[in-house]
Amino acid sequence: MPDALIGLDVGTSGVKAIAISPDGELVATADESYPLSTPKPGWAEQDPEDWWLAAESCLVRLPDGPIGLSGQMHGLVVLDAGGRVLRPAILWNDQRTQAECEEIERRVGFDRLISLTGNRALTGFTAPKLLWLRTHEPDTYAQIRHVLLPKDYVRFRLTGERAIDAADASGTLLFDVSERRWSEEVCEALEIPLEWLPPSFESTEVAGAGDQAAAALGVGIAAPGPVSIVLGTSGVVFAVLPAYAPEPQARLHVFCHAVPGTWHAMGVMLSAAGSAAWLRKTLGGDHAVLDEEAARWEPGVEGLRFAPYLAGERTPHPDPDARGAFTGLSLRHDRGALWRAMLEGVAYGLRDSLELLRSLGVQPEVGRVSGGGARSELWLRIVSSVLDLPLERMASEEGSAFGGALLAGVRAGAFADVEAAVARCVRVRARIEPDPAWAEAYAQRYESYRLLYPTLKPLEGR
């Protein structure tokens, strides 16, 4: 059995690497940042060489051991016949491909696309980026021979192997999620050569997964039961499904999970802790002071509401042009009131996702919470009460890298399977119960929150 298991997460802002013992104890960490390029409004690109250099720098600071990979999903890396990168990678948060998304849904058919891929065409996914290259950079497109996702490019540089796992491949919009293989039908409809795509495997076979699936493993979400709730820049509610079941309007993402033979669904709101970061910068003060001031207000903040659509939205409103708002302001409302309304608005947004997951048969017992926002005790009490669900904080807060390390252990034989890895290494350190009085108040106010988006939309000039 190896002495250390390595998890390497290729994120948007940098690489994070960890080493853990086979019992899940943290042995060492390393991280390395790199820049994000925005050459035009709405564009987001990175140089894959930066990922590789950062990964090298991190790995030399860790003990030797089998490596598991996680990383930002959906990004497009295109290589020529010699394996050379043809252009900067187009990332998950790039918004240039709205026309191509419409083209994909027209070519494949909206209902058929959801049936095959579990999702509708969104600007973040990989397939629209390829169509954009074909239209706008035909010389580059003509040289493409291989397509990889970000973490899989790092694997390619580490091992020379071109491979992808079913969990990450699910986010390309080129994958038959039900059958867990590349979709010949979608590739044919979009005229994308199948031979460009790397061989696909289960996550345990190649020790890799997209960041959300890996992060879910890191908090023990390997089977139906608990749900993962991420209070990061974006907010995620993630659940393993009883069986493959796309949400009829594709308001949830449905992907293959990192556990072989299972699927997961997740709702994604684009501004969770991102809303907190914006408001803290606007109001001034640190998080602890703002939480203290917010705690003086009762649930509902005397009618003050916050619509958390600062960067558009995905779930349940797939609308990149949606915008945020405070409504119900009065002379009595102060800085603490604004802060509490923001915390509550994000919690309501998470409930939107949870309600959709319930419609697919998810029956949550508890939420496993992670992300920077989970450091706020007040926010966790609010989220627990809005969702009417106990929340658990985990002993490890290493996220996707921890899940990658667990997959490395499964592949190396340190664990019999993912369930055994989770049972040995994932531990709960604290539990937050819903406040019954708060839960009752929030249940009533949630219905009025749901009116915010349809009410605000016609006022935004669209």
Q: Which residues form the catalytic set?
A: 211
What is the DSSP code string of 28-44? EEEEEE---B-SSTT--
What is the DSSP code string of 60-110? TTS----EEEEE-SS-BEEE-TTS-B-SPEE-TT--TTHHHHHHHHHHH-H
From residue 118, alpha-carbon distances to 80, 187, 218, 221 in Å are 30, 15, 24, 20
Sheet holding 208-210, edge to edge: 26-33, 14-20, 5-10, 67-71, 208-210
The answer to whether the beta carbons of residues 216 and 224 sit under 8 Å apart is no
Q: Residue 284 and residue 339: Cα distance in Å, rounded? A: 11
Q: What are phi and psi of 27, to 5 degrees?
A: -100, -45
334: helix, coil or strand? Answer: coil
- For residue 91, the tally of other CB atoms under 10 A from its CB is 22
Q: Which of 154, 175, 155, 153 shows the shortest CA–CA distance to 166? A: 175
The answer to whether the beta carbons of residues 272 and 233 sit under 8 Å apart is yes
Residue 435 is given by DSSP the state P
Q: Residue 270 and residue 309: Cα distance in Å, rounded? A: 7
